[in-house]
Structure 1
Amino acid sequence: MMPNFKRSYKFAIKTSLFITVLLTLLVSVFLWMRYEFEWEPVAVFGLISYMFSFFIIQYRVEHFIYKRVKKIYDNVTLLDASTLRPNQITTDMATLTREVEKFAEDKKLEIETLKVRETYRKEFMGNVSHELKTPLFTVQGYILTLLDGALKDKSVRKKYLQRANKGVERLIYIVKDLDMITKLETGDLHLVMENFNVVEVIQNSFDLLEMKAAKKDITLTFDMDYEKPIWVYADRERIQQVITNLVVNSIKYGKKGGTTEISIENLIKNKVIVRVTDNGEGIEKTHIPRLFERFFRIDKSGSRKEGGSGLGLSIVKHIIEAHNEKIYVESVFGVGSEFSFTLEKSKSSLKGTKAVKTQ
């Protein structure tokens, strides 16, 4: 959008006035000395002189300033001279100064944004290399041990091959998650929208993760008995992944003997909100803004022992945003955390009876 400069005529008005007064005095003296002096022709001459002087001075001043400013734009490569037009140039230097200052502020903000992105890029590349390096070196270590002679021992050979296989599985897990995030960001991963019962999807996640939760004595439960189905309109497979990732995250950072509870509530007429609440470690406020970044871990050593790619929450955020929905997080350190996201109700369910508890 091109700047709308305010035109100023003060310089032309004053200068024209000075020239007109001077010329009128000279003409008046000339007429008085050589001819009979009359006010009417002198006044007409003064008016015509003023008008011509004003237009000529205004045009020349604007043309002069335009040439000088355009030269600055041409010399400074960051400025785009193609956006400059003669009718933007004015003798009002305050307006022009403000526009240049605004341009400088915008460029400063752009540079700062690029610096932040560069920092993020470096950190991301470092995290990727670290996440890939660990299982690669693990697999390489077991294979080298086998090649050095352990291959002949059947018990050692089987154990080391199983461990190497786990390392390869983790590599595949990381690569698959990275591929999914890339597809979500570029729009290559198309959502298959359908109507489905979200209660059933949550129960499937509970059944899938029951053994994992049992190892830490964590109870997976609903906040109430949902006797009637709650129909939503979304990609069933992706929402299943969202719920699974959130439950896995709550188990990973949950306390022994704790609870992971899921509730489904009416938000507005055509929306429900799904809440995943735990009474685990909680998250410090300083970490919350970065929770959904790729490979970001609060406890780097502890969470790596639990496994996973470090991309779970990032995938959750991208899937929810691909549905044009919102995800929220609230946490009190040492008390627990709550992750929640919205979903659109299916149109058929809007016509039926309410199957969800009201907030």
Structure 2
Amino acid sequence: MRTKFKKSYRFALYTSLYITLLTTLLASVFLWLFYELKWYFSIGFAVTVYVFCFVIIQFRVERFIYKRVKKIYDDLTLLESTNLRKGSITTDMRTLTQEIDKFAKDKKIEIETLKVREEYRKEFLGNVSHELKTPLFTVQGYILTLLDGAMDDSVIRKKYLERASKGIERLGYIVKDLDMITKLEVGDLSLNTETFDIIELAKSVFEMLEMKAAKKKITLTFDFDYNQPILVKADKERIQQVLVNLVVNSIKYGSEKGTTEISVENLIKNKVIVRVTDNGEGISSENIPRLFERFFRVDKSGSRKEGGSGLGLSIVKHIIEAHDEKIYVESEFNVGSEFSFTLEKA
């Protein structure tokens, strides 16, 4: 498509005016001193010079500029086909400079974003490799030991097979969670929206995890007794998964004989906010922005001892965002943490 230029006459108008004023002043003084010509000759001379200068500048000098400007736009169009061809192209130098400056800033931001993504990709691949490698090598080690003759001892055989089974179970968790995140990101995982009581769901999560909490003597409780149901509209199974992940994390990083508390409050007319609060070790401020990244662990050594795929919070974030809701984090190191998310009222 041929480039459409929006011509600018400002440069030619002002330049012609400056040349005319100078030449007319000099010519008028010369003609008046030597030929004593009338003033209207000066006016005629000025008009002639102005028109001549305007034509030369506009159609010769500007034509020279047009070619260079067109070359600049053509070169930039190769890099960004949608940004510079939406409207007519101006040859005004100030406008052109502004456009080029904006284009350069946008490209700089884009390059910086790509660098951040590249670093994230490298870190993500490294984390995936590490998370898969650990249980794989564990399983391989136990099986090789059994094949080398340990299977003849029934006690060792049973113990090693149980440990290998746990390693395979962890691999299954990682693959399952990765598959779920991928489906959530591409929109392949459909939500089965229904109306349910969020208090009843939270109670069932407490019952499910009370044995796990009892090992650390952590109390699972509500902020007060909810005598009336609070109905929300969401995917019940996915919201249960969110609550399980958040409560499991609060137990995992909670203090011995601590507390994990769930509260449900009205936020606005058609929203409630669900809070999961603990008085555990908390999270330092520099780690909070990365909490929902895949495989990111605040305490890499300690958290791996607790097991899990390292994808729990990332799944939580994707599930909440799939509901078009928000999730929030507030935490203070050595004080405790609070994860909260919104839900639509039924």
Contact 1:282 1:334 in 2 (8 A): yes
User: For residues 104 and 324 of structure 2, what CA distance do their matches in structure 1 show?
Assistant: 35
Query: What's the CA shift for 1:325?
Result: 0.8
Secondary structure, counterpart of 1:209 in structure 2? helix
Aligned to 1:197: 197
Give the % identical residues: 67
Distance 1:273 1:86 in 2: 50
Shift in Å, 1:345: 0.2
Which position in structure 2 is the counterpart of 1:89?
91
Question: Aligned partners of 1:167, 1:5: CA distance in 2, in Å?
Answer: 69
Of the structure 1 ranges 100-109 and 277-286, higher mean CA displacement relative to structure 2 is found in 100-109
- Asked if the contact 2:16/2:50 (under 8 Å) is kept, the reply is no
Matched, 1:168 2:187: no
Determine the structure 2 residue equivalent to 1:336. Answer: 336
Counterparts of 1:234-245 in structure 2 under 5 Å?
234-245=234-245
Deviation at 1:10, TM superposition (A): 4.0
Q: Which moved more, 1:262-271 or 1:63-72?
A: 63-72
Report how far residue 156 of structure 1 moved: 1.6
Q: Tell me how far apart the structure 2 counterparts of residues 176 and 15 of structure 1 sit (CA, whole Å).
A: 75
Residue correspondence of structure 1 range 319-330 to structure 2 within 5 A: 319-330=319-330
Question: Deviation string for 1:135-185 (max 9, x for gaps)?
Answer: 000110111111111122222222211111111110010001011111111
Identify the residue that residue 15 of structure 1 maps to in structure 2: 16
Output the CA distance in 1 between the equivalents of 2:38 and 2:211.
113
Q: Counterparts of 1:279 and 1:81 in 2: how far apart (Å)?
A: 54
Contact 1:142 1:160 in 2 (8 A): yes
Match of 1:268 in 2: 268
1:49-97 Cα offsets, whole Å, 9 max, x none, are 634642552243333222113334555786448826774112xx34433
The DSSP-based 3-state class of the residue aligned with 1:308 is coil
Separation in structure 1 between the aligned mates of residue 89 and residue 73 of structure 2, nearest angstrom: 16
Per the alignment, do residues 69 and 177 of structure 1 end up closer, same or farther by CA in structure 2, a change over 3 Å counting?
Answer: same
Letter in 2 for 1:89: T
Match for 1:146: what amino acid?
L
Offset from partner CA, 1:308-332 (integer Å, 9 cap, x none): 0011111111111111111111111
**Counterpart secondary structure, 2:98:** helix
Structure 1, 42-51 or 7-16: larger mean CA deviation:
42-51
Deviations 1:249-294 (A, max 9, x none): 0000001111100000111111111010101111111111111111
Deviations 1:168-217 (A, max 9, x none): 11001000101111111111111111111001110111111111111111
8 Å CA contact 1:20, 1:49 repeated in 2 = no
Superposed CA deviations along residues 213-252 of structure 1, whole A, max 9, x for unmatched, are 1111111111111111100011111100000000000000
Q: Secondary structure at the match of 2:262?
A: strand
* 2:291 corresponding residue in structure 1: 291
Q: How has the CA–CA distance of structure 1 residues 86 and 76 changed in structure 2, closer, same or farther, with 3 Å as cutoff?
A: closer
1-structure distance, mates of 2:6, 2:160: 75
TM-score (norm. length: structure 2): 0.87
Partner Cα separation in structure 2 for residue 76 and residue 272 of structure 1: 49
Correspondence for 1:63? 63
Asked if the contact 1:73/1:79 (under 8 Å) is kept, the reply is: no
The Cα offsets for residues 71-128 of structure 1, whole Å up to 9 and x where unpaired, read as 34555786448826774112xx344333322222221111111111111110110000
Distance 1:268 1:103, change over 3 A: same
8 Å contact 1:283–1:336 — kept in the other structure? Answer: yes
Pick which of 71-80 and 326-335 moved more: 71-80
Residue of structure 2 equivalent to 1:279: 279
Is there any run of 5+ residues in structure 1 with no aligned partner, and where?
A: 347-359
Give the letter aligned to residue 245 of structure 2.
N
Q: What is the root-mean-square deviation in Å for CA atoms of aligned residues?
A: 3.0
Indicate the residue corresponding to 1:54 in structure 2: 54
Number of aligned positions between the proteins: 335
Q: Distance in 1 between matches of 2:255 and 2:187?
A: 38
Partner of residue 309, structure 2: 309
- How far, CA to CA, are the matches of 2:114 and 2:167 in structure 1? 36
Q: How does 1:15-54 map onto structure 2 within 5 Å?
A: 15=16, 18=19, 47=47, 50-51=50-51, 53-54=53-54
Deviation at 1:18, TM superposition (A): 3.0
AA in 1 matched with 2:91: I
Q: TM-score, normalised by structure 1?
A: 0.84
Cα 1:234/1:38, change in 2 over 3 Å: same
- Corresponding residue of 2:253: 253
